[in-house]
Amino acid sequence: MTDDLPEVRASDAERERIAERLRDALAEGRLDMAEFEERLDAAYTARTRGELEPLVRDLPAPTASTTPTPAGGRDWPSRIGAPATSRGGFAFWGGFGRRGRWTVGRQFTGVAVMGGGEVDLREADFEDREIVIRCFALMGGIQVTVPPELHVEVTGFGLMGGFDDRGAGEGTPGSPRVRVTGFALMGGVGVERKRRKGDKSRKSLEK
């Protein structure tokens, strides 16, 4: 029965778990940038579990973190300055997603053409203190999700579409400064502030 496992179709969640292990390996210096980009591309295009397994076979198994991230993402110094693991995403009649633990580059460009994109910064690290996220949506949509403690500016515009700036606002002391810009043509770009699930649970216990 185990011989059949490699032919089992991989899920989006399984691809994302492999991608997160690759990002960790890059941050730890186990992979160089060329190896990381090659394996990451292979992870997102893998069709079966058998194609995913070799990508992390020579990497240590993930372990649970013993040091929790402070509530509200206030540990900013430890989250700024890591090498970028992604500088862009492209979707054409499909979608792209950047979520979980990853490091956003100084300039990240997201393009969605008749498709959708997701850029989630709630658990992300930042290559620099100043970050620019450029979003271009053509008959498609891009959603940018940020934690409430992040400083965010929104300067994009929409033509026969919308560029939502409701997620703009000041951050806590020491937070990176993120500027979301670009345009939406017959499409939409949304920027929203939203807590992580873990932060919500922690706040409920404190009440």
Which amino acid does the sequence have at 142? Answer: I
pLDDT computed for residue 73 by the predictor: 46
Taking only the tens place, the pLDDT of each residue in 124-170 is 999 999 999 999 999 999 999 999 999 999 999 999 989 998 899 99
- State yes or no: pLDDT of 100 exceeds 50: yes
Are the C-beta atoms of residues 135 and 182 closer than 8 Å to each other? yes
**Contacting residues for 121 by C-beta, under 8 A, at least 6 apart:** 104, 144, 145, 146, 147, 150, 178
| pTM of this structure | 0.63
Res 66 pLDDT > 90: no
Under a CB-based contact definition with an 8 Å cutoff, are residues 176 and 151 in contact?
A: yes
β-strands 177-185, 162-163: how paired? Answer: unpaired
pLDDT of residue 136: 97
Q: What is the mean pLDDT of residues 56-81?
A: 68
Per-residue pLDDT reduced to its tens digit, 167-199: 999 998 889 999 999 999 999 999 999 987 655
